[in-house]
Amino acid sequence: MAGIGRLSTKSSVLLLCDMQEKFRPNIFQFTNIVSNAARLLQAARLLGIPSIVTEQYPQGLGPTVPELGAGDLTAHAKTSFTMMTEPVEKELKALGDPKIAILCGIETQACIACTTFDLLERGMDVHIVADAVSSRSQTDRLFSLSRLRQSGAFLTTTEAVLLQLVQDAKHPKFREIQKLLAQPSPDTALVAFFSSL
């Protein structure tokens, strides 16, 4: 349902933004962010949700990290701070122009923000998975999430996305999704952000 942020497996796309090797030592909570994004990717595969991966200047910043589990996906190289490059636009069109974007990756104040603005301008519902996005600075991460929420994006979590996509314990893939939730998502230091709201 448009406007309230209801998730659906129909007309959704998972966007995996720039989780690359050279960012590993500098991004706050990098390992946990990638772990949550990998869970989302596994769920997307189970539920038939298409996924799109980008890499920011891979010649300098390296490839997508292997632990994301996206090795079978074509990574779209880019230099812009939005994922919405011509090849990604073409892929979205080929997918029937999904109405819902589930967005994770780095960095929140740069590529996540610019992608969100572009998606919102297209009229898409944008669900930013707050425990699967980050920045070098926790300040940039938290203020960017606040700013993007003001712009109309929905902030959510990995577990919330997975449960809202299946919606019912009778869903044929619920048991497999439940296995992805066996361990709680790792803490990515978001409590301080929400205590300030």
Identify the active-site residue in 17, 104, 111, 131: 111
Report the distance separating Cα 116 and Cα 173, nearest Å: 29
Amino acid 190 reads: L
18 catalytically annotated:
yes
Report the distance separating Cα 134 and Cα 85, nearest Å: 21
17 catalytically annotated:
no
Identify the active-site residue in 17, 18, 125, 131: 18
78 catalytically annotated:
yes
Identify the active-site residue in 78, 104, 125, 131: 78
Classify residue 94 as exposed, middle or buried by CB count within 10 Å of its CB (0-12, 13-18, 19+). Answer: exposed
| CB distance 165 to 9 below 8 Å | yes
Q: How far is CA 69 from CA 22, 65, 107, 150, 157, in A?
A: 17, 8, 19, 32, 19
Give the dihedral of Cα atoms 178, 11, 121, 75; nearest 10 deg: 70
CA atoms within 13 A on the CB side of 35: 14
State the catalytic residues.
18, 78, 111
